[in-house]
Chain A
Amino acid sequence: MSEFILEMRGIIKEFPGVKALDNVNLKVREGEIHALCGENGAGKSTLMKVLSGVYSYGTYDGEILFKGEVCKFKDIKQSEQLGIVIIHQELALIPYLSIAENIFLGNEQAKRGIINWNETVAKTKELLSKVGLDESPHTLVGTLGVGKQQLVEIAKALAKKVKLLILDEPTAALNEADSENLLNLLLELKKQGVSAIIISHKLNEVARVADSITILRDGKTIETLDMKKDHVTEDRIIKGMVGRDLTARYPKRESKIGEVIFEVKNWNVYHPFQHERKVIDDVHLYIRKGEIVGIAGLMGSGRTELAMSLFGRSYGKKISGQIFKNGVEIDVRNVSKAIEQGIAYVTEDRKGNGLILMEDIRKNMTLSRLNKIAKWFIVNENLEIIESEKFRNRLKIKTPSVFQKAEKLSGGNQQKIVLGKWMFAEPDILILDEPTRGIDIGAKYEIYTIMNQLAQEGKGILMISSELPELLGMCDRIYAMSEGRITGEVDRYKATQEGLMKLMTKTRVRG
């Protein structure tokens, strides 16, 4: 048997109007962690879907060898039988089922069609301890955070006797502690002989866990590097991905800070269903013209809830407090009022809250400000095409035209549509919730540049991010949040990761 557990040769996959994969080769050694890197739309997810049988044999060209044998998968089931398990970019667990039910979904521990629940639960316990998740098998998955759900996905993979585990951007939605946890688990599994392919835009993670790395660009294999032998650095990977040296991660900006443009006072929000639970507790904050303000907080600290409650009260109940724009109190009872007042909110959940997947790019881009291209409530479609093309070009969204449906785009390009949609709305205050999640290094740089441009134009920007380096690199000022309260405010020059971390984990003294 060869040293490679997997060989993909000359894979070509075309969609109408797009050649997503153009003669791609990928070789993964037995027992290694192999990283797959590339810009948004490079074809990473597509390649993994080909491998796992999501795109069945015959819909692509090329050859797949697993453990030296040619594979012609018709569906996922067949690849899973051989131990190839994929965890998709978007999690696929069923929120209303328990952990145990999810893990053995489609793989039920049953005899003659009757499920043996005792065995199911026992096996689940075993798997959960393997992935280091301390939860009851009966817990509903919907009540778990994303980090824990990710672990359930892995447990589910282990239940299928996985030989080759594929993770598509597993840490994109995780905070640092959870990411750390997950990466350690991967290393642990490696010791037990599970090979893995990991797709990630977080290159520090790649550098930490991967043994080798294959770089894709525009649907082609650029190179495969051996992390140890080739002394691969993050900069080296970036060079392979974008085809040139990227000197700085964060574009420079001369801050021209003006008057306070946006101010929040005494902001309190309660949970929408548990009416006694205070989610946001007496928040005060302000943004000045031309300023980029960060919010650092762990998952569950209330940062998204704060942003959404400010944006036309789209989250929470019993909201109280005041919002001022340019010193005048404004009424933002609902989202359309907030938009009228020049507030925009770029959601962290692009599929759930940001996009209408079945509609084309053009209609998604213009939805929040249709009156801009309408006269007497009639939409000028020609103007709409011109305008959306403009943003497609400015954001370098990879797609043949603005008539492409949003669901057909790669994850990172979808994120860019959401951003473009709110740039089209021409807000004065832009709230960005994890704006670079799942976005490649090059595109991140572009988005930072655009943020800087918007700031230069005198807009106020509030940026929520789980990545502290990003906040430190971009913001003039950073608020730290914990348990729904602002626990500190630091200036760009005084801020450090350690200092922020301390503020973000500060808990209330209960007496």
Chain B
Amino acid sequence: MQVPTQKMSSHHSAANESKTRLFAQTIKNHIRSYSMVVALVLIIGLFQILTDGILLRPLNVTNLILQNSYILILAIGMMLVIITGHIDLSVGSVAAFVGALAGILMVEHHVSMTATVLVCLLLGALIGAWQGFWIAYVRIPAFIVTLAGMLLFRGLTMVILEGQSIAPFPKSFQNISSGFIPDVFHGDSLHIFTMVLAALLSLLFLWLEIRKRNEQKKYGFEVGHQAVFIAKLIGVLAVINLFAYVLATYEGIPNILLILAVLITVYSFVANKTIAGRHIYAIGGNEKAAQLSGVKTKRVTFWVFVNMGVLAALSGLIFAARLNAATPKAGNLFELDAIAACFIGGASAYGGIGSVSGAIIGGLVMGVMNNGMSLLGLGIDWQQAIKGLVLLAAVAFDIYNKNKSA
């Protein structure tokens, strides 16, 4: 039963049949990420009702973004680490250490913000290189290296802070986390620039999607039904613009959202479309086979940890800016939140599987639950317990799905 796929361009029924089958397959492959989107929507809906609509108020949506940004940034880096088949337990401590350094440089030595940020990111890269060296070249399991890193950098944080907090940071630095993109149009009740940005983004999205579709047509592939395509476009545009509108009725786009958006776009692109991304997945899938295909497995692993270090540093800076203080306790348990976000978002503990968008969705599921439960007045104790259950449920659901399709 050979399907004549060579004639894909022609509209043979056989080719069509194989296409539908193929479509079903891709849907199946993505069922996990889709089901998490559905779960996220359901959770949002649930808390929206339980909190009498507070959850989606402009102020709270803005808060949600600000509260979760540093975990989301860690989750992006963590996802790559997990895809290569490793783990990083040190990111919380690294974030704290970097935050502490920022405090010392800026508050105590009055170094400029730009210089501080650069130095801090560089420090993150160095820490990542340090851990990546042991993991990739000496082949000590990442669990052990980063467990050591977790203790080491937490300890160093306390040493350099001498157990004290350092505050306050200069206004410009705080702005990273609490500032908004100014409205050049000076709207009254509505942040007009936000809406302009949303419109531009919508156009960009439209252009990219249509170009992609035309490209596929050019290669002679069957493309999905036109109606479905248009429905999808309308759906996405509606979400973008509604979201922008909600933000625009408050203060507009937080600076941090812009940083996040850039990171998500860049990292999704790298993971999905570039040679480097392919190599990362290949290493997690089968390191030996990847190596025998010419993938420089050690080098790639090393750089994945360097990258994690930089993102951990960024996360530490943002947290310090938000707290407006560098404290020895900063970043406590961040690593676990980031790891949980990845697994809720569909990563495999064995490596090779996962996506940046999954990490973000996983992070949002946790973030919305945290926020919603706080609004309901549930204590940290219960929040922690419930998050644990959610993590377990998400992964159990994943395994159930896999067994069913086998």
Contact = CB atoms under 8 A, between A and B. Distances in A.
Contacts of B276: 377
B278 A356 contact: no
Nearest to A405: B29
Contacts, number: 111
Interface residues of B, number: 39
For the residues of B in contact with A, the DSSP-based class is helix
Interface stretch (B101-109, B177-185, B287-295): B287-295
Interface stretch (A245-253, A318-326, A380-388): A380-388
Contact of B219 (A355, A374, A386): A386
20 contacts: A17-B25, A218-B1, A312-B294, A314-B292, A335-B292, A336-B296, A352-B288, A352-B289, A355-B289, A356-B285, A357-B286, A359-B285, A378-B273, A382-B215, A386-B219, A389-B5, A389-B6, A398-B2, A403-B25, A403-B26
B16 to A, nearest CB: 13
B383 to A, nearest CB: 34
The 7 closest A-B pairs by CB, nearest first: A356-B285, A336-B294, A368-B293, A382-B219, A339-B294, A367-B293, A356-B286
Contact of A358 (B218, B273, B288, B352): B352
B361 interface: no
A107 interface: no
Given A379-B275, A385-B219, 11 more contacts: A17-B21, A218-B1, A335-B291, A345-B292, A352-B289, A358-B285, A377-B274, A389-B6, A400-B3, A401-B18, A401-B25
A370 B275 contact: yes
A393 interface: yes
Interface of B: 1-3, 5-6, 8, 18, 21-22, 24-26, 28, 215-216, 218-219, 221, 273-276, 278, 281-282, 285-286, 288-296, 352-353, 405
Contacts of B285: 356-359
A343 to B, nearest CB: 10
A511 interface: no
A365 to B, nearest CB: 10
Contacts of A374: 274-275
B274 A356 contact: no
B78 to A, nearest CB: 20
B299 to A, nearest CB: 10
A469 B310 CA distance: 58
B355 to A, nearest CB: 14
Contacts of B24: 16-17
Interface in A295-310: none
A367 B282 contact: yes
Nearest to B296: A336
A493 to B, nearest CB: 35
A413 interface: no
Contacts of A359: 281-282, 285, 352
A401 to B, nearest CB: 5
Contact of A401 (B5, B216, B281): B5
Contact of A356 (B5, B6, B221, B282): B282
A16 B405 contact: yes
B376 to A, nearest CB: 40
A356 B289 contact: yes
A403 B22 contact: yes
Given A16-B25, A367-B278, A403-B26, A379 B292 contact: no
Contacts of B28: 16
A385 B18 CA distance: 14
Contacts of A334: 296
Contacts of B219: 382-383, 385-386
A367 B295 contact: yes
A265 interface: no
A488 interface: no
Greatest chain B CB density within 10 A among A312, A357, A358 is at: A358
A419 to B, nearest CB: 14
A356 B353 CA distance: 11
A363 B291 CA distance: 15
A374 B218 CA distance: 18
Contacts of A347: 292
A228 to B, nearest CB: 34
A382 B405 CA distance: 27
B378 to A, nearest CB: 39
A477 interface: no
Given A355-B289, A385-B221, A335 B294 contact: yes
B294 A393 contact: no
A403 B281 CA distance: 16
A10 interface: no
A369 B337 CA distance: 37
Nearest to B5: A389
Interface string A344-357: 01010000111111
A345 to B, nearest CB: 7
Contacts of A353: 288-289, 292
A19 interface: yes
A345 B292 CA distance: 8
Contacts of A389: 5-6, 8
Contacts of B6: 389, 393
Nearest to A17: B21
A401 B23 CA distance: 11
A377 B275 contact: yes
Contacts of B18: 400-401
A442 to B, nearest CB: 13
Nearest to B4: A393
A421 interface: yes
B8 to A, nearest CB: 8
